[in-house]
Amino acid sequence: MDRRQLILGLAAGGAAAGPAAAQHAGHGGAAAPLPEAKPSPDPFAGLQGGKPHHLTPEQEAQRVIGSSAPPGAPGRWVARAALPIPRSEMAWATAWAGRMHIIGGYGEGRVDRTYHHIYDPAQDRWYNGAPLPRGANHVSVTADAGRIYALGGFIEQNRNPDHNAYAYEVASDRWTRIAPLRRPRGAGAAEVLNGRIHLMGGASEPTLERASVGWHEAYDPASDTWSVLKPMPGARDHVGSVVHEGRIHIVGGRFNTFEYNTGLHHVYVPERDTWEERSPLPTVRSGHGLVSYRGRFFAMGGESGVIDRGRITQARVFGQMESYDPATDAWQSHAAMTTPRHAVGAVAIGDWIYVAGGGAVTGGAVQSSVHEAFTLTA
């Protein structure tokens, strides 16, 4: 399929599904038959050499789970089929037609992988989707109208941003190149709103600094073009994002590195092209997952630390599960993750939140194939 065919298809089908469908799969056409991918027997692997890894007591001591938010219904976590390989720094996932898509990231000793794993919760089974045309980490992903969008990312380890953008046709298991990003970046937030793909924040050039940006741009599938919108109030990356009632919420993240995490919570109001502040994330962190579930936003995982002469100290990997009620602008806490991780793939499908892969220690040194699911159902 060439770009013209893609644009015509998007123009014809762009109204087939809205933001809710992108967040909560089960809408749209079925996926093409795909080869099964067996779960990994190894829960952790080191980036250096890509070999199986056993967490040391010092690494396990990085885990923290306490929350300052008042307790809500605890919920429960259960194990699901492990990722086919230990992975991290894909940083996000998206869902369509009842399946979770996790794209790119670190794995098997490399940081520029083209991985595309697809999880079917009805079968508790993983499949291999068509690989991303160019390997990258921290790729921003979202879904709409039967397509998965993969935007930007880093070519090197958490730096050297990319401008490539692709659309994946779920029904045919094929990727197509779309108009590139106006400015290269990785670790941004991607959401669908009013038929356009919004890309917000992230980190860009110069490569050695990987400076956070507040850029806010939107892609129009019908015209295959990008436009510039009002930037986020605080330039940051590794944020959480969701769409709720026609507005985009950006929660947490970091200013340049996890040394400078923030709990900032802003909401984008499209009719006025502006941002408003909301109640901040109780546990300040970045690299966390954020999904919309039962009318609330659930934030899980994340990391923080201090870089002292090239070494990470005061390392923390968060297991907190905290949720936000947009009706009351208030947060509460729930049962912590069984295995704290950051840079996870997280989506809500049906009455479950699926959290797969991620970093087991602060930074990118150790990848995980751990896959656990959360529900508020007893």
DSSP codes, 219-281: EETTTTEEEE-PPPSS--BS-EEEEETTEEEEE--EESEEEEE---EEEEETTTTEEEE-PPP
Q: Is the pLDDT of residue 15 over 60?
A: no
Query: Residues 201, 204, 208, CA angle at the centre, nearest 5°?
Result: 140
Number of Cβ atoms within 10 Å of the Cβ of 71: 10
Query: At residue 294, does pLDDT exceed 70?
Result: yes
Determine what percent of the chain is predicted with pLDDT higher than 70. 92
Give the single-character DSSP code of 31.
Answer: P
Bridging pattern class, strands 154-156 and 159-161: antiparallel
Distance CA 304, CA 43 (A): 22
Under 8 Å between Cβ of 191 and 243: yes
From 107, 140, 41, select the one nearest 365 (Cα to Cα): 107
Model confidence at 6, in pLDDT bands (50, 70, 90)? very low
Over residues 82-123, the pLDDT tens digits come to 999 999 998 789 999 999 999 999 999 999 999 999 999 999
pTM: 0.91
Other Cβ atoms within 10 Å of 308 Cβ, number? 10
Residue 9 in this model has a pLDDT that exceeds 90: no
- Per the structure, the complete domain to which residue 221 belongs is given by 3-375
Could you please report the per-residue DSSP string of 116-132?
Answer: EEEEETTTTEEEEPPPP
The enclosing domain of 363 has a CATH number of: 2.120.10.80
> Which tens digits make up the pLDDT trace of 215-267?
999 999 999 999 999 999 999 999 999 999 999 999 999 999 999 999 999 99
pLDDT in tens, 204-218: 998 888 899 999 999
Q: Would the pLDDT of 8 be above 90?
A: no
Q: What's the 3-state SS for 312-373?
A: EEEEEEECCEEEEECCCCEEEEECCCCCCCECCEEEEECCEEEEECCECCCCCCEEECCEEE
What is the per-residue pLDDT for 309?
87
Task: Go through 45-54 and write b for each residue having 16 or more CB atoms within 10 A of its CB, e for each that does not.
Answer: bbbeebeebe
pLDDT per residue over 141-188, tens digit each? 999 999 999 999 999 999 999 999 999 999 999 999 999 999 999 999
Domain count across the chain: 1
Are the beta carbons of 371 and 344 closer than 8 angstroms? no
Taking only the tens place, the pLDDT of each residue in 63-88 is 999 999 999 999 999 999 999 999 99
